[in-house]
Amino acid sequence: MANQVTTVPSRFIFWSTAPFLVAFLVLMPLLVSPPSVSGWIVLLGCELLAALVFAGLYDTVKFRWCWRLVGAIVFLGYAMYLADMIIEGEWIGDGRRSSATALNALCGLAAFGVPGLWYAVRGRFGEIAEADLCLDESSPEHAE
């Protein structure tokens, strides 16, 4: 009981973000028209990511595999960004911190991609057991 993780109820998180996710899923394809094949791939990836987050928030226990796919997509996105910058030869850029460079892609891969891969492979961060994270306050295990 001492290792119990106290979190905000998942229903609150779902109902506070679901309208925005549904609006994104419906409106994004209608509002943008990507000029190239890579633009369509990015749009499809964003739509898939939003759908996985929606399902993962809807039922955190039944759809916990969705969060692993989200981690894998984040890793693949940053890995492709790094590969694209290396192929284009954009190592340092024009000196602005916001420019698309291999250095910025590597920083993003280290900050977001590697933890995403870690979660995709292990299904958790750190040493907290997955069963401890999935306990709902109304579940019989929580009462013990």
Output the pLDDT for position 31: 92
Task: Compute the mean pLDDT over every residue in the chain, rounded to the nearest whole number.
Answer: 82
Q: Residue 65 domain-assigned?
A: yes
Q: Residue 3 domain-assigned?
A: no
Q: Residue 24 domain-assigned?
A: yes
Q: Residue 5 domain-assigned?
A: no
- What is the number of domains present in the chain? 1
Please say if the pLDDT value at position 119 is more than 80. Answer: yes
Q: Residue 85 domain-assigned?
A: yes
Q: Which residue has the higher pLDDT, 142 or 124?
A: 124
51-85: pLDDT as tens digits: 999 999 998 888 989 999 999 999 999 999 999 98
Output the pLDDT for position 122: 86
Q: Residue 23 domain-assigned?
A: yes
Q: Where in the sequence is the domain holding 25, given as residue range(s)?
A: 10-143
Closest CA to 21 of 45, 57, 64, 60: 57
d(CA 137, CA 140): 8
d(CA 19, CA 124): 27
Please say if the pLDDT value at position 141 is more than 70. Answer: no
Q: Residue 131 domain-assigned?
A: yes
Q: Residue 73 domain-assigned?
A: yes
Output the pLDDT for position 8: 63
